[in-house]
């Protein structure tokens, strides 16, 4: 892989090649999900192997998206990279510019495999598509954020419906504080994905210029000049007033588990956590989910996909590519989409699968009831140039800059405006290095 692409990530030790079953064409798939969700990924591999006798996919968890990409990059040097890698949304621009991939839509056409690409939700497919609309990677585990809330706590505080605006959300926090002063109202963990990226999508405001990077490598971050500043200032104020508590793994229990253990009444997170909350909730926890709020005066727009997609990498044989194509075709069947969403909290990536599940009453009862809220959020409006996603190089590092500065502001070391100004300045330096690396080139 190009040295310029390698420099984007820290190089980690590469994994070796896969063992093949006798008389089968073997190929490898490295995935980032770990824990229970990783186990379900492994099940999709077993199901594929059991469904036919021509190919043998070997699937290896890297126990983290960043690790999956790092190990893949390192493996390129030794020619031992996998045929498929699961890469998260933040790495999309870097992978696109590397050129070391086989566009999935082109691959399927080359092997005469028919996929109805128009069947994919635009809010999902746009994130992984070239400017021509061609899918470069295969949408897979897709999610969007929601607000998790405790129904009984809301009722005790006189809150009839989950707040749809941030102004109403603050009122809800105050009502919860009055009704249950001993309990955590809102378990908060700084998250660029929720607080910056999806917040900006839902409000139809930019994270960066050039339509969030889609229109050129010379984009610049601008979120220190938008409604995002007020939102982060509000979060800091709520912290100072005791209306929320920081809940991160570093400090003990994280915000999701604090909610599931009935320690906090609210938390914001991926719909993919829906199954985990069900599995880990204390007995009697009465909860639901709602779309993330928007500020008064803003018309709500669609949120976008999070999670990851499947990239087919360069430098493999025709047989390995055919196997990869068959596996992706297998995942795209309605039966396998249903298996995936039934056993995880992720949402369907195709309209047909969602319509079928809805018709079957999938979302009518626990443990699946509520997951349709994510689909409502994702499809609330048609994607606009500002709400189709984010296409910025070095985005992983930019996320880290935001987190570091926001944590400093929450600790009282600087104002939130100062923190966001610094994060933007440092992140723009990342963009300029990325632009120089690919001078004279354009995003696909």
Report the Cα 166 to chain-centroid distance in Å.
Answer: 23
Same-domain pairing of 93 and 10: yes
Residue 39 is part of which domain span? 3-143+306-378
Quick check: is 65 in a domain?
yes
Are residues 312 and 289 part of one domain? no
Q: Distance between CA 411 and CA 190 in Å, rounded?
A: 12
Residue 344 exposure: Cα atoms within 13 Å on the Cβ side = 29
List Cα–Cα distances, 7 to 175, 241, 264, 437, in angstroms: 50, 43, 41, 10
Residue 127: the pLDDT is 85
Lowest mean pLDDT among 46-55, 67-76, 327-336, 348-357: 67-76
Sign of CA dihedral 16, 21, 27, 30: negative
Strands 55-61 and 25-31: parallel
- Domain end point (choices 378, 410, 427): 378
Q: For residue 81, what are its two tokens? A: 């990279």
Give how far Cα 81 sits from Cα of 89, 94, 245, 354, Å.
Answer: 20, 17, 43, 34
Q: What's the CA angle centered on 83, arms 81 and 86, to 5 degrees? A: 90
CA distance 140 to 377: 18
In the 8-state DSSP scheme, what is residue 53? S
Model pTM score:
0.88
Backbone angles phi, psi at 129, to 5 degrees: -110, 150
Residue 150, H or E segment: strand 145-150
Please check the confidence at residue 8 and state whether its pLDDT lies above 50. no
Q: Is residue 277 part of a domain?
A: yes
Structure tokens at 253: 């229990």
- Average pLDDT over the chain reads 90
Is residue 252 classed exposed, middle or buried when 0-12, 13-18 and 19+ CB atoms within 10 A define those classes? exposed
Count of structural domains, the chain? 2
Q: What is the pLDDT of residue 251?
A: 66
Distance, in Å, from the CA atom of 193 to the CA atom of 260, rounded to the nearest integer, reads: 21
Q: Are residues 171 and 265 in the same domain?
A: yes
Q: Residue 259 and residue 278: Cα distance in Å, rounded? A: 11
Domain shared by 343 and 423, yes or no: no
- Interior angle at CA 245, CA 249 and CA 279, nearest 5: 55
Of 188, 265, 210, 167, the closest CA to residue 390 belongs to 210
Among candidate residues 328, 351, 378, the one where a domain is terminated: 378
When pLDDT is averaged across residues 163-182 and rounded to a whole number, the result is 97
Residue 434 has pLDDT above 60, yes or no: yes
My answer on whether 372 and 416 are in the same domain is: no
pLDDT tens profile 363-413: 998 899 999 999 999 999 999 999 988 999 888 899 999 999 999 999 999
Residue 388 lies in a domain: no
List, for residues 244-295, the tens digit of each pLDDT value: 999 988 767 999 999 999 999 999 999 989 988 998 999 999 999 999 999 9
Assess if residue 55 is contained within a domain: yes
Model confidence pLDDT, tens digit, residues 58-71: 999 998 888 888 88
What's the pLDDT at 94? Answer: 81
**Count of residues in the chain:** 444
Tell me whether residue 442 is in a domain.
Answer: no
Specify whether the CB–CB gap between 16 and 82 falls below 8 A: no
Average pLDDT of span 291-303: 97
pLDDT-based confidence at residue 12 (cuts at 50, 70, 90):
very low
CA distance 240 to 35: 35
In whole angstroms, give the CA distance from residue 433 to residue 217: 10
Can you give the CATH number for the domain in which 429 is found? 3.40.190.10
Q: Tell me: do 100 and 240 sit in the same domain.
A: no
Mark whether 44 and 119 lie in a shared domain. yes
Together in a domain, 99 and 35? yes
The pLDDT score that the predictor gives to residue 231 is 98
**The domain boundary residue, chosen from 378, 405, 429:** 378
pLDDT of residue 100: 86
Cis before 346? omega within 30 = no
The answer to whether the beta carbons of residues 259 and 280 sit under 8 Å apart is no
List Cα–Cα distances, 336 to 51, 57, 140, in angstroms: 12, 16, 11
Q: Domain for residue 387, yes or no?
A: no
Instruction: Please tell me the least confidently modeled range out of 25-29, 175-179, 348-352.
Output: 348-352
Q: Which of the four pLDDT bands, split at 50, 70 and 90, describes residue 22?
A: low
**Same-domain check for residues 8 and 109:** yes
CB atoms within 10 A of CB 25: 17
Map residue 216 onto helix, strand or coil.
Answer: coil
Q: pLDDT digits over 36-93, tens only?
A: 889 999 999 999 999 999 999 999 999 888 888 888 888 887 888 999 999 887 778 8
User: Are 136 and 218 in the same domain?
Assistant: no
431 and 285, same structural domain?
A: yes
Same domain, 333 and 400: no
Q: What is the mean pLDDT of residues 421-436?
A: 96
């Amino acid at each position: 892989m190009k040295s310029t692409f390698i420099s984007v990530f820290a190089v980690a030790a590469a994994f070796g090649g896969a063992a093949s079953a006798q008389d089968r064409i073997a190929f490898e798939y490295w995935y980032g999900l770990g824990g229970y969700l990783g186990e379900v990924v492994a099940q999709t591999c077993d199901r594929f192997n059991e469904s036919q006798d021509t190919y043998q996919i070997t699937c290896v968890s890297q126990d983290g998206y960043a690790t999956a990409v790092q190990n893949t990059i390192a493996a390129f040097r030794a020619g031992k990279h996998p045929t498929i890698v699961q890469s998260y949304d933040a790495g999309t621009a870097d992978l696109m510019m590397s050129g070391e991939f086989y566009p999935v839509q082109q691959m399927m056409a080359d092997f005469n495999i028919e996929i109805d690409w128009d069947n994919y939700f635009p809010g999902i497919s746009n994130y992984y598509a070239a400017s021509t609309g061609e899918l470069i990677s295969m949408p897979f585990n897709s999610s969007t954020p929601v607000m998790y809330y405790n129904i009984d706590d809301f009722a005790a505080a006189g809150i009839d419906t989950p707040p749809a605006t941030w102004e109403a959300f603050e009122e809800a926090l105050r009502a919860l504080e009055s009704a249950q002063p001993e309990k955590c109202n809102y378990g908060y963990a700084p998250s660029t994905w929720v607080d910056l990226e999806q917040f900006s999508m839902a409000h139809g405001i930019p994270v960066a210029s050039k339509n969030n990077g889609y229109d050129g490598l010379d984009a610049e971050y601008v979120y220190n000049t938008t409604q995002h500043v007020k939102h982060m200032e509000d979060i800091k104020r709520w912290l100072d007033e005791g209306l929320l508590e920081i809940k991160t793994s570093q400090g003990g229990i994280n915000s999701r588990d604090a909610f599931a253990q009935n320690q906090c009444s609210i938390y914001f997170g991926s719909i993919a956590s829906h199954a985990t909350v069900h599995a880990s909730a204390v007995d009697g926890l009465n909860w639901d989910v709602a779309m993330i709020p928007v500020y008064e005066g803003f018309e709500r727009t669609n949120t976008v996909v999070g999670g990851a997609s499947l990239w087919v990498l360069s430098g493999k044989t025709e047989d390995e590519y055919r196997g990869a194509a068959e596996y992706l075709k297998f995942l795209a069947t309605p039966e396998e989409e249903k298996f995936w969403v039934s056993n995880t909290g992720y949402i369907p990536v195709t309209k047909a699968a969602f319509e079928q599940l809805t018709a079957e009453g999938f979302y009518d009862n626990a443990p699946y009831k509520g997951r349709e809220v994510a689909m409502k959020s994702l499809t609330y409006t048609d994607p606009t140039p500002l709400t189709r996603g984010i296409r910025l190089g070095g985005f992983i590092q930019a996320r880290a800059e935001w987190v570091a500065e926001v944590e400093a502001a929450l600790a009282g070391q600087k104002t939130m405006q100062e923190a966001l100004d610094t994060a933007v300045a440092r992140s723009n330096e990342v963009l300029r290095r990325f632009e120089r690396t690919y001078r004279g080139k354009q995003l696909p």
